[in-house]
Amino acid sequence: MFACIHGPGAELPQIAEAFSPFFEQTTPDTVVFRIDGLRRLYGTHHQIAHAIELRAGNDVNISIAETAEAAILAARNFAGVTVHPDLNALDITTLPLTDEISEVLDSWGIHTLAQLAQLPETGIAERFGPAGVSLLRLARGAVDRPLKIFRPEITYDDRIQLDHPISLLEPLLFLIARMLNDQCEKLQSHGMAANEITIRLELETKTEHVRTLRLPIPMRESKALLKLLQMDLEAHPPEAATAALGLSLKPVNPRTVQNGIFLPVTPAPDKLELTLARIRGIVGEDNVGVPELLNTHHPHPFRLAPRQPLLTDPPPITIRHAFRYFRPPLAATVELQNGRPTRITASGIHGKVLNASGPWRTSGDWWTPAPWNRDEWDITLSTALYRIYREQHWYIEGTYD
């Protein structure tokens, strides 16, 4: 058996929750819930309806019916309290009809639910398809569906107003640790994780210092999050003492990974993130990541993506001569004969060119502020193989190794 409350008022979820923890908010003005367990508390269905009426007031319609859909129909169309309603006399316009179905039913002289319920299901299916069948079942009160349980929106925010401003990071971290522990426990209990964490420090100077960490993988380990926040605040400390602090976590579904039994062990994502954060603190934010090739003919067709490594299908293995860049490229003096390099001099590198292959002429990005236009040569000296290029001046780009 189901009870439905229909009417104005923002407190319908609270009223329904007083009778059952599992209820459905079908629309903002309609809630429905099971009442099977309320018999011992309140007695008969009429007594249950009376108890709901006492709590909800007289402004709403209350109905009790066999199915959720029947209870909803009754609450929306009968005023006051209705127990075991007779829906036969209801007009078919109370059902969610499309214009086409409404016109056809009208032409057939079908105006009430009782008339619709008597029509053969096969004929309705042939004429209207699945939409018609679901209407027919609704009219017969035969739709028995599970409730879509209402879940209130949960936020993972916390704020502490301090009695005295704190200027040192260490005591601040104690407070952040406490807040993080609470929020991470909350995440754990709801089966969620966070992929973004924002700390908002309200400073003594009436300004705000806001830091947001976007995590490469959803995490909910308070120790790891605290360490990440600590390293970030050490790298970007607030300008003044903190008078209040707020913490907010963005909830997402946790990452689920099925590791193969025969696959080798890879770094634990949270531990790896901490390690990479530590290394970023040493070498700089933009110098740690995963190399990514770009779809371009640019001389440096790659970039460093700041994310964690992912297992993918490996490319086929071939033995290819590797290249090493000189960053920045070495400025060189090149002697030419018939347009071909014959001798090169640069810092630490000089000698007669034994073989040269080129020029390989490339250009591009002329529509951007950083175009390139260069002639490349592969050359052999007695000591090593180099790639040189001319772009206004001569440079040694690197060595084949």
Partner 1 sequence: MNLNAALSTALGFRSDPKPREILPTGLPSLDAIIEGFPRGAISEIIGPDSSGKTTLIHSLLAASTSRCEVCSYVDTNDSFDPVTAAAAGVALSQLVWIRCGHNAGHALKAADYLLHAGGFGVVVLDLCQVPPRIANRIPISYWYRFRRAIENTPAILALVENEPMAKSCASLMLEMKRKKTAWRGAPGFELLRGVELEALSRKPVRPAEAAFKAKAI
Using CA atoms, how far residue 179 sits from 138, 184, 185, 195, 223, in Å, is 50, 9, 10, 17, 12
Smallest gap, in angstroms, from Cβ of residue 363 to partner 1? Answer: 19
Regarding 10 and contact with partner 1 (CB under 8 A), the answer is no
Stretch that binds partner 1, among 2-10, 47-55, 88-96, 382-390 (CB under 8 A): 382-390
Query: Beta 385-391 vs 393-400: how paired, if at all?
Result: antiparallel
Q: Among residues 27 and 275, whose Cβ is nearest to partner 1?
A: 275
Regarding 327 and contact with partner 1 (CB under 8 A), the answer is yes
Stretch that binds partner 1, among 46-54, 132-140, 192-200, 258-266 (CB under 8 A): 258-266
Helix H segments across 205-255? Answer: 222-235
Q: Which position has the token pair 């127990």?
A: 83
Regarding 316 and contact with partner 1 (CB under 8 A), the answer is yes
In this structure, are residues 95 and 135 in contact, taking their beta carbons and an 8 Å threshold? yes
> 3-class SS at 377?
strand
Q: How far apart are CA 179 and CA 88, in angstroms?
A: 57
Regarding 268 and contact with partner 1 (CB under 8 A), the answer is yes
Using CA atoms, how far residue 214 sits from 123, 193, 204, 219, in Å, is 57, 13, 27, 11
Neighbours of 357 (CB within 10 A): 12
Smallest gap, in angstroms, from Cβ of residue 232 to partner 1? Answer: 17
Stretch that binds partner 1, among 62-70, 151-159, 188-196, 323-331 (CB under 8 A): 323-331
Return the residue of 65, 71, 95, 288 that touches partner 1, per CB under 8 A: 288
Q: How far apart are CA 201 and CA 84, in angstroms?
A: 58
- Per-residue x/- track, 189-208, partner 1 (CB under 8 A): --------------------
Regarding 257 and contact with partner 1 (CB under 8 A), the answer is no
Smallest gap, in angstroms, from Cβ of residue 284 to partner 1? Answer: 7
Return the residue of 10, 79, 257, 282 that touches partner 1, per CB under 8 A: 282
Regarding 217 and contact with partner 1 (CB under 8 A), the answer is no
Q: How far apart are CA 256 and CA 178, in angstroms?
A: 27
Q: Among residues 210 and 268, whose Cβ is nearest to partner 1?
A: 268
Structure-token pair, residue 318: 């071939």
Q: Among residues 192 and 276, whose Cβ is nearest to partner 1?
A: 276
> 3-class SS at 7?
coil
Return the residue of 319, 367, 370, 392 that touches partner 1, per CB under 8 A: 319
Angle separating helix axes 121-128 and 99-108, nearest 10 degrees: 130
In this structure, are residues 252 and 218 in contact, taking their beta carbons and an 8 Å threshold? yes
Regarding 261 and contact with partner 1 (CB under 8 A), the answer is no
Q: Greatest CA span in the chain, whole angstroms?
A: 108
Smallest gap, in angstroms, from Cβ of residue 141 to partner 1? Answer: 56
Q: Among residues 246 and 398, whose Cβ is nearest to partner 1?
A: 398
Planar angle of CA 45, 46, 47, nearest 5 degrees: 90
The footprint of partner 1 on residues 345-364 (CB under 8 A) is 355-357
Interaction site with partner 1 (CB under 8 A): 260, 263-268, 271-272, 274-276, 278-279, 282-284, 287-293, 301-302, 304, 309-327, 340, 355-357, 378, 380, 383-385, 398-401
